[in-house]
Amino acid sequence: MGRILSGIQPTGLLHLGNIKGAVENWARLQHEYETFFCVVDWHALTTTYADKLDLRAESERMATELLAVGIDPKVSCLFVQSDVPEHTELHLTFSMLTTIARLERVPTFKEKVEQLTHKEIQTYGFFGYPVLQAADILIYMATHVPVGEDQLPHIELTREIARKFNLHFGDVFPEPEPLLAKTTRLLGLDNRKMSKSYGNTIDLCEDEETTIKKVDTMITDPARVRRNDPGHPEICNVFSYHKGFNTPERPGEIEAACRSAEIGCRDCKRELAEKINAYLRPYRQRRQELIADPDRVRRILAEGAEKARATAGETMRVVKKAMKMIR
């Protein structure tokens, strides 16, 4: 059986894009691989160090939502990154092997600097983010990493770091393979990437009325000005959601009705909101149950950290022995 490591930052709320794009995939993979899922609070600090967040509270909240969506602590190891200090120890080790020129070629650095102009993120910590990510993965000797296409450059860097370490110190680390998510990426309410920083998300924590109001703001076919104008569902974000949340046969019916103007955008949105709420309802109910028992979540994280440290500690022992730092 292969082994998986994947992580999620505790900043921002778990939204529909996270759930469909990552967490449901994790919940499926946990029955096919040995799985380690990590709330990466050190990573959060790379862009939020000045925000004075209560990172422990945020980490517990994120863990609560992961559990609500299907991460099973009886099957997976769920923990908070900073509870396993071996992550930072291996990060320091790998930073000795990774050149500045190589990090400058990681596309996400320039992209984030351009996007987050209101924050000072041109820091050593953010620049070295992919090296810490490599340490997160390799401290558990992960063989596979579930990612979206935008994260593939980070996985390739992880593989390069593993090869370089193995070249200098002996065959220690596997070269993990990416597992591309088998889901369609959802755009946000405004047709941009769904992101909390854009304010265009549908969140797990919100009530059903809020979801209805948010869906009502979604951008539809810009060429359809009047109710009796024929629509073009192929360019409508609302229609793309119907393909992900409605019954298998319903999108075809909606497409025909839209093109003939038998259905209006308001009706189409109302039906979509009902489907999204029905989809999220069991997750929201489990979330409320977990919120009512915070000690349960804390126990799960403590047990996960203990298991993770056992694996990570053994990895660091092997690493230090290979580097002749211990006998």
| pLDDT band (50, 70, 90) for residue 227 | confident
Neighbours of 214 (CB within 10 A): 20
Residue of 327 and 40 predicted with greater confidence = 40
170 forms beta bridges with: none
- Residue 135 exposure: Cα atoms within 13 Å on the Cβ side: 28
- Residue 105 exposure: Cα atoms within 13 Å on the Cβ side: 8
261-289 pLDDT tens trace:
899 899 999 999 999 999 999 999 999 99
Question: Which 3 state secondary structure label does DSSP give 4?
Answer: strand
Q: Which residue has the tokens 């620049």?
A: 127
| Residues designated catalytic | 112, 193, 196
d(CA 123, CA 163): 27
Mean pLDDT to the nearest integer, 239-260: 92
Alpha helices by DSSP H, listed for 106-177, are 107-115, 124-127, 129-138, 152-169
What domains can be seen in the chain, in order of their start residue?
3-186+294-322 (3.40.50.620), 206-287 (1.10.240.10)
pLDDT at 311: 98
CA 80 to chain centroid: 14
Q: Which amino acid is at 210?
A: T
Closest CA to 87 of 22, 131, 29, 26: 131
Closest CA to 214 of 223, 203, 227, 225: 203
Mean pLDDT to the nearest integer, 145-159: 90
pLDDT at 223: 79
pTM metric for this prediction = 0.91
97 forms beta bridges with: none
Residue 116 has pLDDT above 70, yes or no: no
Alpha-carbon torsion 210, 212, 213, 215, what sign?
positive
Mean pLDDT to the nearest integer, 167-183: 91
50-97 pLDDT tens trace:
888 999 999 999 999 999 999 999 999 999 999 999 999 999 999 999
Q: What is the DSSP string of 241-271?
A: HHHHHS-TTHHHHHHHHHHTTSS-HHHHHHH
Q: Which residue has the tokens 């949340």?
A: 245
